[in-house]
């Protein structure tokens, strides 16, 4: 443990915010806590999932696909995007299995694959 971290833990313990008695044991306990919340691969997958929703265009696409199945050209027109840009956003959402595509002749149609995602999106309230 670095001297800086040790000094911070000493200050924390002396402030009585933390009831630990042994700095080394407490540091070990904190590392165990961090390990218990999930393996790195699991957390990286969650990171990618939330990053896929961290764009207002993709959020709009998700909300539109909740209402109807759409092809890329419909998404382009609705949001004023280029074909490349619309496809890029749809591919990100598809990679995280938020949307699903199907072929109908030469057309590729997209639909929401995860309806429960709307609850997640709508559960966040924005404070001004």
Q: Which domain holds residue 87?
A: 48-123
Indicate whether 119 and 98 sit together in one domain.
yes
Instruction: Name residue 109's beta-bridge partners.
Output: 71, 102
pLDDT at 1: 76
Indicate whether 16 and 72 sit together in one domain.
no
pLDDT at 55: 96
User: What DSSP element (H or E) covers 71?
Assistant: strand 70-71
Q: Could you tell me the pTM of the whole model? A: 0.78
Q: What is the DSSP string of 89-119?
A: HHHHHHHTTSEEEEEETTEEEEEES-TTHHH
User: What DSSP element (H or E) covers 70?
Assistant: strand 70-71
Indicate whether 53 and 16 sit together in one domain.
no
Cα separation, 33 vs 24, in Å, equals 14
Kindly give the confidence (pLDDT) of every residue in the chain, 128 residues in length, as a single tens digit, with 9 standing for 90 and above.
788 988 888 888 888 888 888 888 888 999 999 999 999 999 999 999 999 999 999 999 999 999 999 999 999 999 999 999 999 999 999 999 999 999 999 999 999 998 899 998 888 876 66
Indicate whether 77 and 115 sit together in one domain.
yes
């Amino acid at each position: 443990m670095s001297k800086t971290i040790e000094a911070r833990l000493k200050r924390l313990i002396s402030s009585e915010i933390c009831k630990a008695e042994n700095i080394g044991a407490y540091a070990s306990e904190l590392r165990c806590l961090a390990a218990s919340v999930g393996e790195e691969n699991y957390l990286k997958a969650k990171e990618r999932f939330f990053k896929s929703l961290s764009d207002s265009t993709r959020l709009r696409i998700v909300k539109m696909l909740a209402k109807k199945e759409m092809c890329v050209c419909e998404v382009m027109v609705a949001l004023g995007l280029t074909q490349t840009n619309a496809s890029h956003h749809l591919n990100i959402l598809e990679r995280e299995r938020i949307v699903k595509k199907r072929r109908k002749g030469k057309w590729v149609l997209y639909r929401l694959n995860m309806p429960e995602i709307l609850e997640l999106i709508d559960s966040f309230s924005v404070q001004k």
